[in-house]
Chains A and B, each alone.
Chain A
Amino acid sequence: MITILGTIAVLIMGYAATIYPRIFKLIRKSTQKNKWYVLFYLICYFLIFYIVFFAFVHFGAKADLTLITVLIFFFGSIYVLETVDIMYKTLHELFLSNQKIKTYANSLEEMITKRMWDFEHKNKELEVAVGELTDFKKAMLNILEDMSDSEYKLTNALKESDSLTMVSQTIAWAADWNKLVSYITRVIGLNMECEKTVLFLSDAQSKNLIAQYGSYEFTKKEIDDLKIEISNSINGLAFKNNETVFSQNAAGDARVCAKKNIINCQNIITGPISDGKNIIGTICCLNSNKNLSENYVKDFYEKMLKVASVVITNSQLISKIKIKETEEDAILKSIADGLLVVDGNGCIVLINDIAEENFRLSREGVLGRNVKNLLGFDFLENILMDIGSPIDKSKIDQSGKTLELLKENELYYLTDSSINEDVIKIKMQRKLNLTFEFTTELTFSLLISPIISDKGTIIGQVVTMHDITKEILSNQAKDEFLSVTSHELRTPMTAIMGNLKMVLDGEAGTVAEEMKEYLEDSYTGSQRLLALVEDMLDISRLEQGRMQYSMSDFDIRDVAKSVIKTLKSLSDQKKIYLIYKEPTKPLMVRGDQNKIIQILTNLVGNAIKFTDKGNVTISHDIEDDKIITIVKDSGIGISKEDQLKLFKKFSQVNINPRSQRGGTGLGLYICRQYVEAMKGKIWILYSQPQNGTAMAFSLPKTDDK
């Protein structure tokens, strides 16, 4: 019995255990409001439980009844509780729903109110918009009114743009004037919607306006008939007054003086054509449109003519340029020398056919290119470097006639007067050898002239190249001829002189006094002739570069003494004192002893020759690493201008007094070549007419041994 009761109790507890979580769940879920209700429910529940429990204990005897009661009570209470719980929940939800509906209703009301306001507002806006629309419509109407005007303007603008294309056509038509005339007059004619357009150009000689062939819708014959004197015609007025002239009624206008069959139209408009400075002609449109008003066309016509003026002027300029180009081309082509022009940067801007051929270049390949980049022509680069660089004054050529002596790659500055500037702005001359495959060597003389701007800066160079190959060859032939002939001349001269000398010396028997004079003159003549031959031979060797120098160190006093010994008889003959201021110590120099003897003999010989009384003095000076030998005389002296040419080939100064004295004029030239080859210099130390001359030459000094 007790076991059954225990089991039931456990069951009850188990159920209770299952019910607790539900209760707590309820508590958790419950709002603050119904917490008290739940608490009450719980207390009730436990109270009932304990009552049942105590009843059970108390009525243990009647346990079965009690148990059933308890169970009924228990389950009943649970059911009640559950029902209450559900009812509460339902009621609560209902309450909440009610609350929500109320809120929604409120918000709905609010919304409707707002919308209503909005509608009202929008309505007002719409009213404003409608008002504006009315205004816009008015404006639109205005614009539409303007449209016709705009359309007219647009058409004009289009016409203007059309006329502007004329400019771009100018160059294309420039070559053919009649085509250009036809083009311009047609464009103007079409734009002006007229029947005929004619272009007049003024003729400076006849002072007439000449209609140009090709004018729009004009036949050749009509053009021939259209000669208008500038004076009174409407074109004349347009031309003279530089203004657009409009004739509303051409047939009745006195100013329209052309033949009526040509001018078969209602109105005429004409305006001037200008080349920017002067009025050069007019363009005239003939129109049959009766409604054409002056104001309507004038403005536009003037614009058209401005464009036409530009087109005509441009085309005339282009033709002029073309003519000039052709002329320049022809000039460049007809120059026999090569011509090359480079700009300040060394880029070739011009080259003629000859230069192209000389350099084996093609114009297309070199124009605009820097000479530095041209195959194998470093020399041009050198020229560029030379221009604008300091002048090497030792290379100044006063006469500019030393073409055959131009050394390769050496520059000579050509000038008429002495150079004061320190920078090269003067012409230069240089020899250039060019050799190409399968060709013989060509030699050119280059003349390089700087192009100097107004500001005095060098902005380019002109190089003219003259082919001197033939001259060089003929010079060589000349040298060879000279060398052969002079050699062949020597033997007979030797025979003449030798035999004469022997006769004069009495070796062929006694010479009669009267005969002696003749023989002596013959001897002197042949002596002079032989000296000339010797000189010629020396020069030909010098110029062929075949002169040899056997250099050695020697005492120049020995040279001076030997020269004095040779010339003693000559000075004695003229009763001139030959003085040698001999230094006590040896003066060692380096050079070709024989050549120095020749030089000093020449100088002393000349001094004696040109001195009639007084003395000739030889002296020496030491200066740094040079020994200077001075030959001073009290002779006739040399004038300033003669001094300049003294060392030149064949220079024979002061012809008259000299004619009695003889000489080939080669001596000093040879001396100079010799001295310079031996690293010395020769110069006029001092000279004044009638006051004597002092000549000097220097030689490198060597250490005393």
Chain B
Amino acid sequence: MRILLIDDDQLMTRMYERKFKFEGDDIVTIDDGSMALDLLKKDGNFDVILLDIMMPEMNGFEFMEELNKDAGLKHIPIILLTNLVGSDEDERRGMDLGAKAYLVKSRMQPNEIVDAIRKYAAK
């Protein structure tokens, strides 16, 4: 599976990079929404996008709005992977924008994250 992970926190990207590489997946990490959009425009060949919400330049929701405008990239399943647990509103907003799932990093072990991603990306 080819995975794009967009997260501004190095601790997170490095951990998930290790985990997915261990699982045998191809993972690309990037720490900002706009840079990810640029990358996707050059290379749109990803099976799933793992997206954080709180990021400095362009947040996850803005990224999804931009991505939804691009017909060529719209098909890539997005899974929100965040630590934002403030309200159900965020989850609803993400799902409304087309996310497949809303996963809370701190509540899941890396194994569970991997399982969940395989499950949702396949849907």
Contact = CB atoms under 8 A, between A and B. Distances in A.
Interface of A: 483, 487, 490-495, 497-499, 501-502, 505, 507-508, 530, 533-534, 537, 541, 546, 548, 550
A497 B85 CA distance: 18
Interface string B101-115: 000011101110000
B32 to A, nearest CB: 17
A507 B19 contact: yes
B71 interface: no
29 contacts: A487-B83, A487-B84, A487-B85, A490-B85, A490-B106, A491-B9, A491-B11, A491-B105, A491-B106, A494-B12, A494-B15, A494-B83, A494-B105, A494-B106, A495-B11, A495-B15, A498-B105, A498-B109, A499-B15, A501-B109, A502-B15, A502-B18, A502-B19, A507-B18, A530-B106, A533-B106, A534-B107, A548-B88, A548-B89
Contacts of B109: 497-498, 501
B19 A498 contact: yes
Interface in B1-38: 9, 11-12, 15-16, 18-19, 22
Interface in B81-123: 83-89, 105-107, 109-111
A596 to B, nearest CB: 15
Contacts of A492: 11
Contact of A537 (B85, B89, B110): B85
Contacts of A550: 88
B52 to A, nearest CB: 10
A498 B11 CA distance: 10
Contacts, number: 60
A507 B109 CA distance: 13
A534 B106 contact: yes
Interface residues of B, number: 21
Interface SS majority for chain A: helix
Contacts of A495: 11-12, 15
Contacts of B19: 498, 502, 507
A186 to B, nearest CB: 86
A530 B108 CA distance: 11
Contacts of A493: 106
A319 to B, nearest CB: 68
Interface of B: 9, 11-12, 15-16, 18-19, 22, 83-89, 105-107, 109-111
A490 B83 contact: yes
Contacts of B15: 494-495, 498-499, 502
Contacts of A533: 106
A541 B85 CA distance: 11
Contact of B12 (A487, A491, A502, A537): A491
Contacts of A502: 15, 18-19, 22, 110
Nearest to B92: A550
Contacts of B111: 501, 505
A508 B105 CA distance: 20
Contacts of B86: 483, 487, 541, 546
A605 B83 CA distance: 24
Contacts of B22: 502, 507
Given A491-B83, A507-B18, A548-B88, A501 B12 contact: no
A546 B22 CA distance: 40
A675 to B, nearest CB: 19
Contacts of A483: 86
Contacts of A499: 15, 18
Given A490-B105, A491-B11, A507-B19, A498 B110 contact: yes
A508 B18 CA distance: 9
B92 to A, nearest CB: 9
B110 to A, nearest CB: 5
Contacts of A490: 83, 85, 105-106
Nearest to B110: A498
Nearest to A538: B85
A501 B106 contact: no
Nearest to A541: B86
Given A483-B86, A534-B106, 10 more contacts: A487-B84, A487-B85, A491-B11, A491-B83, A494-B106, A495-B11, A497-B109, A498-B109, A502-B110, A546-B87
A496 to B, nearest CB: 9
Nearest to B109: A501
Contacts of B88: 548, 550
B11 A501 contact: no
Nearest to A493: B106
Contacts of B84: 487
B29 to A, nearest CB: 14
A93 B120 CA distance: 165
A534 B12 CA distance: 19
B113 to A, nearest CB: 8
Contacts of A546: 86-87
Most buried by B among A492, A497, A498: A498
A499 to B, nearest CB: 6
Contacts of B9: 491
A493 B108 CA distance: 12
Contacts of B16: 498
10 smallest CB-CB distances across A and B, nearest first, come from: A495-B11, A490-B106, A494-B106, A490-B83, A494-B105, A498-B110, A507-B22, A498-B15, A548-B88, A501-B109
A492 to B, nearest CB: 6
B83 A548 contact: no
A501 B83 CA distance: 18
Contacts of A548: 87-89
Most buried by B among A491, A499, A530, A537: A491
Contacts of B83: 487, 490-491, 494
Contacts of B110: 498, 501-502
B107 to A, nearest CB: 8
Contacts of B12: 491, 494-495
B91 to A, nearest CB: 9
A563 to B, nearest CB: 15
Most buried by A among B9, B15, B88, B106: B106
B1 to A, nearest CB: 17
A487 B53 CA distance: 13
A491 B83 CA distance: 7
A273 B119 CA distance: 106
A537 B83 CA distance: 12
Contacts of A497: 106, 109
A664 to B, nearest CB: 16
A492 B109 CA distance: 14
Contacts of A501: 109-111
